Amino acid sequence: MIHKEHNLIETFGFAISGIKTAIMLNRNFKIHLIFAVLVIISCFVLGLTNSEIAIIIMVISLVLGVEMINTAIEEVVDLVTKDYREEAKYAKDVSAGMVLIVAIGSFVVGLYIFLPHVLTFLK
C-alpha cells in the first residue's frame, strides 16, 4: 500500500469515518456510547460541578478510545490469520482485558463522583 499525504480535513474525515464505523459495527462500542449519554445527562440532572463533568468526560473518552483500539487490534489479528493461533488469542485477550480494566476504573471514578450527588438527590 502506497502512503499518500493527506491534508488536515481529509485526516479528520478518516477519523470521523472510524467513529461511524465503530458505532455501526461494534456492539460493545454502542453499549458504551449509550451508557456515556446516560451518564452525561445524569451529570446535569444531579448538578455536578464543571470539574466533575470534565473528569467524567475524560473517563468516557478513555473507555470509548480503548474500545476502538481493542476493535482495531481484533480486526488486524483477523486480517493476519483466520486460523486459531495461541498468539492471536493472546493479543485479543490482552486487548479485551485492557477495555475491562479501563471500564472498571471508570466505574469506580463514576461511583466516587456520583454517589454523594445521588445521596443528596435522594434526601
The set of catalytic residues is 67
Helix (H, G, I), strand (E, B) or coil at 6: coil
Give CA–CA dist 3/58, Å, rounded.
32
What letters, b where the CB count within 10 A reaches 16 and e where it falls short, cover 52-82? beebbeebbeebbebbbebbebbeebeeeee
